[in-house]
Amino acid sequence: MVQPQQLMAAQILPRRAWLPRWMTSEHPWPWLLPASALMIVFGIYPLLYALWLSLHKRNPVLRKNVFDPAHNWMKAAADDRVWDAIITTFTYTGIALAIQLALGMAIALLLDTDRKGYGILRAMMTLPLVVPPAVTAMMFLLMLDGSFGVLSRALYETGLWSPQLPILATSSSALAGVLLADIWQWTPFMVLIMMAGLRSLPKEPFEAAAIDGATATQAFLRLTLPMMSRVIAIAVLIRGVDLFRIFDYVKVMTDSGPGTATETLTSYAGRIYFTGDFPYASTLSLLTLVLVIVASTLFMRIFRVRL
Amino acid sequence: MEQSLAKRTLRDIAAVSVVGLFMFPLLWWALTSIKPMYAIFDKDRVVWFDFVPTLINYAVVLLGWSRAELAIDSGSTFGVGGTSSYDSRQTMIDSVVISVGSTALTMMIAVFAAYALSRIAFRGRNGYLNWVLGQRFMPPIAIIVPLVTMYKVAGMRDTDNLFLGYVGLIFIHALINLPIAVLLMKSFFDDVPKDVDEAAMIDGATRWQTFGKIVLPMVRGGVAAAAVLCFIFSWTEFLLSLFLTTIIRTVPVKISTFVTSTGSEWGFISALGTAAIVPGFIFILLVQRHLVRGLTLGSLKE
């Protein structure tokens, strides 16, 4: 038995005299200091610097930046390539999200069973997630190569596609090629999350529905989907943000080409960067950030989801 | 519900073929890496398995064999005169140093922040969590221009000093991974009942002792899972590693330099690519249990 006096003594004793008071107290800042320092020096400061830079006009002859707050933002608003890039980015994000969500749900339903051997299949399904995106891009670059790519040849031989139009070098199909790489790599993400969602569902409503004679389709639409709405919303939010800032696949597979057919906001900003117009490149990358913030905030408000 | 045999078989077939479809690119990639050049570039047909397997691609990429000698030995002059730019030994070392270093740095910073966010009630806690989440959602491209300038000024970009180059990339990868690690570790700390802390503190431990000696050891599994995810994200990171250094080529950046306008050396690319995938495969199989939680920043638990 611990005596009350001993307990009190124990509470007082271990205070170390040589530590300043704020280190031993319940103050959160010592704990948060390293993280805050990293996020300020490498996150907030560059962000403010980018904002400051975007308010300047680049003089290419003198290679100097002159303060002119509206210049770059007006330029972006009047730049057709920016609008094209925004449309491409939204198209890409929308199509990829829809396909990955639908496929992910279907595959999760398929693999969600306790039967023998399915554990291995589920583990295999996670493997694409760890491939570096640049390597994924390479894989699909190889398989979609116009002359010796195995996927291209399969399409030619089945008559689905003409060898005259190499997939990644044709404006109308290049984006589909890039999407294919994204879908291969990130559908497993959706599968994993949907599977976790399916696992967490209670059994009773489904048993009740089965007794009432509901079909599998009815049970899925009326029970599974509504009960998984939070899980789906979280998955869509995280994936959507990552899709919106796509860079690796486009950079490696098509480098925004052919022409500007696969140019997204990030890849256009990267291209401007290499021309040396840093203020305008900053403006475009901040535009990406603003769109991400607006879209994700709206999404979180509408679907009442919090991470 | 008992399913009929036919239905079960049908499901098995569907499951195996879907997973097989997703495994095909990996299989094809690994297969390409052991093909000799003639089997990769055959213009008339797809070469599946009728070739003599070779490890030459791996020897060039990972052991630094000269490809000019190889070409002459095999009686071809294709590719002779190329530089030894396919030698990726330094790349592998650089990538390991940066991934391990940034993972260690991230975790050291993240466990403290995560513990405070989980345990200590203070004003602005939600705001801080939103800041961390915002950091996760920020496109890296938004800060790339100032970062390049910062790194130039600090001597971490255009430098011969490998150490400074490492430091630069380690810090920026730590920034990218920090939100994931903090939010994930917070969710693991949240799983430990607060009674544990209170009991320890009643027994006379300070906050720091409670954290270091009692709570942190209880979430070892979580630390391991978060560290593995940080390692994988650092290992696969492309954009920042591409812009922020001129002397270091991490694996993804190095691979992207193998694509040239005059034709790509797919044998070497796939050999290095396969080697780049292997560590991730091993690690992810170790953390299957925490994968969903990690990928959703701790908001979904399996």
Q: Which residues of B touch A42 (CB under 8 A)?
A: 143, 147, 171-172, 175
pLDDT in tens, A125-142: 999 999 999 999 999 988
Q: How far is B247 from chain A (nearest CA, A)?
A: 18
Write out chain B residues lying below 8 Å of A158, CB-based: none
Tell me: pLDDT of A12 over 90: no
Can you give the pLDDT at residue A61? Answer: 78
Task: State percent of chain B over pLDDT 70.
Answer: 89
Of residues A43, A142, A241, nearest to B175 (C-beta): A43
Q: With 90 as the cut, is the pLDDT of residue B121 above it?
A: no
Chain B, nearest residue to A149 by Cα: B46
Report whether pLDDT(B103) > 60.
yes
**How large a percentage of chain A has pLDDT more than 90?**
46
Give, in order, the Cα–Cα distances in Å from B115 to each of A19, A28, A61, A134, B127.
20, 9, 53, 35, 16
Cβ separation B144–A273 shorter than 8 A: yes
Work out the number of other CB atoms within 10 angstroms of the CB of residue A292.
21
* Integer CA distances (angstroms), A117 to A99, A123, A204, A228, in order: 27, 10, 27, 26
Provide the pLDDT for residue A13.
47
Closest-CA residue of B relative to A38 is: B175
pLDDT tens, position by position, B26-62: 999 998 888 877 777 766 667 677 777 778 788 877 8
Is the ipTM beyond the 0.85 threshold?
yes
Per-residue confidence (pLDDT) for residue A210, from 0 to 100: 87
Both tokens of A252, joined, read 């490696």
- Residue B232 has a pLDDT of 92
CA B247 from centroid of its chain's CA atoms = 20
In this prediction, residue B73 carries a pLDDT of 56
pLDDT of residue B193: 93
CA dist A136 and A138 (Å) reads 5
Instruction: Read off the pTM.
Output: 0.88
Best interface-test mutation with B: which of A135, A215, A249, A268 has the largest number of B CBs within 10 A?
Answer: A135
Contact A53, A273 (CB under 8 A): no
- DSSP bridge partners of A37: none
In order of start, what are the domains of chain A with their CATH numbers?
Answer: 71-302 (1.10.3720.10)
Query: Which residue do the tokens 């030995």 mark?
Result: B73
Q: Do A148 and B283 touch (CB under 8 A)?
A: no
A232 versus B265: the higher-pLDDT residue is: A232
In this structure, are residues B297 and A238 in contact, taking their beta carbons and an 8 Å threshold? yes
Taking all residues of chain A, what is their mean pLDDT, rounded to a whole number?
86
**What amino acid occupies position B190?**
D
Cβ contact, residue pair A248, B284, below 8 Å: no
What average pLDDT does the segment A279-300 reach? 92
**Chain B: nearest CA to A269, how far in angstroms?**
8
Q: Which of residues 217-276 of A touch B (CB under 8 A)?
A: 231, 234-235, 238, 241, 244-245, 247-248, 251-252, 266, 269-270, 273
Q: Is B46 close to A188, i.e. CB distance below 8 A?
A: no
Which domains are seen in chain B, by residue range? Answer: 5-73 (no CATH), 90-295 (1.10.3720.10)
pLDDT of residue B207: 85
Q: What average pLDDT score do residues A277-299 get? A: 91
Does residue A261 surpass a pLDDT of 50? yes
pLDDT at residue B85 greater than cutoff 80: no
Residue A100: alpha-carbon gap to chain centroid: 12
Question: Is the pLDDT confidence value at A115 over 90?
Answer: no
What is the mean predicted confidence (pLDDT) over A192-206? 89
pLDDT at position B3: 67
